[in-house]
């Protein structure tokens, strides 16, 4: 019983943090799937945008924070524009990234990049990558 209460509190804290950081009412989502249907990055995501939203509704913090989807999100806002409930899904993705980055869980390790790879990349890509994917 005590464990259930504790897990419930943790789930609520995660949902509350996502809500606070994104400013979005996740519970408005009714899973129409329009966000995922328009997402240009969905083909490489392990969770579709609507699945991320549903996972937040359910407080499945582990599923979301272990997913690559928030990091692969290009912040293009297509999902946000398409959502019939006015949910800014891109902000939810950003909130998930912020939670990880505040825990010092960077998605890329600049020091671990191959020199040849770095030499081939445009400087602006590196700057954007470091700003978005490292804390």
Write out the residues near ligand SF4 by the rule CB under 6 A: 29-35, 39-41, 49-50, 53, 73-79, 82-85, 87, 89-90, 93
Closest to 133 measured CA to CA, from 61, 46, 75: 75
Euclidean distance between CA atoms 65 and 69, whole angstroms: 9
Q: How far is the CB of 36 from ligand SF4 (least distance, A)?
A: 7
Q: Which is nearer to ligand SF4, 17 or 71 (CB)?
A: 71
Q: Which is nearer to ligand SF4, 12 or 31 (CB)?
A: 31
Within a 10 A sphere around the Cβ of 96, how many other Cβ atoms? 26
Within a 10 A sphere around the Cβ of 73, how many other Cβ atoms? 23
Q: Which is nearer to ligand SF4, 58 or 118 (CB)?
A: 58
Q: How far is the CB of 104 from ligand SF4 (least distance, A)?
A: 23
Q: How far is the CB of 102 from ligand SF4 (least distance, A)?
A: 20
21 CA to centre of own chain? 12
């Amino acid at each position: 019983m005590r464990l259930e209460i504790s897990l419930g509190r943790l789930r609520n804290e995660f949902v509350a943090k996502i809500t606070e950081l994104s400013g979005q009412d996740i519970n408005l989502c009714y899973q129409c799937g329009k966000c995922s249907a328009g997402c240009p990055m969905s083909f490489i995501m392990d969770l579709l945008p609507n699945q991320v939203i549903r996972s937040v509704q359910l407080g499945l913090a582990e599923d979301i924070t272990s997913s690559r989807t928030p990091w692969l999100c290009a912040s293009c806002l297509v999902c946000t524009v398409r959502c019939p409930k006015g949910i800014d899904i891109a902000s939810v993705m950003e909130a998930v990234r912020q939670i990880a980055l505040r825990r010092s869980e960077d998605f890329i390790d600049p020091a671990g990049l191959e020199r040849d790879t770095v030499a081939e990349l445009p400087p602006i890509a590196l700057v954007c990558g470091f700003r978005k994917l490292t804390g």
